[in-house]
Amino acid sequence: MRIVVTGAAGFIGYHLVHQLLAKGHQILGIDNFNNYYDVNLKRSRIENLINLKKPINSSFEMKSNDLEDKNACNEIFNIFKPKIVFHLAAQAGVRYSITNPEKYFQSNLIGFGNIMECCRKSEIKNFIFASSSSVYGGNKNIPFSELNSVDHPVSLYAATKRANELMAHSYSHLYQIPCTGLRLFTVYGPWGRPDMAPMIFANAIMNELPINIFNGGDLSRDFTYIDDVIEVFLRIMEKPAIPNSNFSYDKPVPFESWAPFRIFNVGNKKSIKLMEFIKLLEINLGKKAIKNFQEMQPGDVKDTLADTNLLEEWINFSPNTSLEFGISEFVKWFKFFY
């Protein structure tokens, strides 16, 4: 199968391409290799993919392009002629969106729109995109359900991800493109992002630097291991969104439609206290953290926890890797790479 993966040099993109190649697919990756975080890490991921021992029928080609460049995107799709698109490219980061909002307008809105246009013109059979648990914003209903309202984002990043969901629904309705949005909950693991807590904390602990712990440590997150996330993507690839013929126009639900459109949470169904997470890092790294307690940061939410019942019904799977195993695997990679 000919598949485009945007954000292929990113954390999730790297792992997804790795598994797709192992299964014998032809992959074209797109990434702009921006300097939001260490470009050397991104290039190391791609180097690994290029050197990966692949089945004879698989192939991997990498394009360095901004998705805001409409002409470049059209040319890539016209030449490669994909059937499936995984859209993972985005300007990430809640806190970064507070000080650099224009980057989110360009990448997460214009870039997303250009990819959707390419999907329309190429008659894509399955469009799968990364949304975020951040869309739940100020929602206090725990666990977060796809039935909850997501109309009160508390960061621009979250607002752009919610906008992506609405844009995808419009394209699904107008052009019958099967679209599935996956609301990812705090993904972690080997080859992770340096701007996320596991990498920030591990680096500080190993170098005996203080770590900033917000809201006095009274935070919890639904940590989701990368291998589980990739399994979800692969299963969704085999089961595109379909219209719900019984959709109620009088009592519409937000996670499905009369169009071929679905939204699912992707989380581990366990909310882990931040201090417990730090303790596991300390045990695996063999060092104590120097803790610097601070107030809650703008744009952050106190707790996250995913309800994944709808996902499990759809693909007969939901993430279940224990944090103990996941942190152990992450620390093994961290020590090896750094």
Q: Hey, which residues are catalytic here?
A: 157
Spatial separation of the C-alpha atoms in residues 274 and 12, rounded to whole Å:
22
CB 277 within 8 A of CB 323: yes
CB 264 within 8 A of CB 181: yes
Spatial separation of the C-alpha atoms in residues 260 and 241, rounded to whole Å:
5
Residue 279 CB partners (closer than 8 Å, separation 6+): none
Pairing outcome for strands 220-221 and 272-273: antiparallel
Spatial separation of the C-alpha atoms in residues 313 and 232, rounded to whole Å:
12
Spatial separation of the C-alpha atoms in residues 246 and 153, rounded to whole Å:
30
Write out the H or E segment, with its range, that includes residue 5.
strand 2-6
Which residue's structure tokens are 């939204």?
263
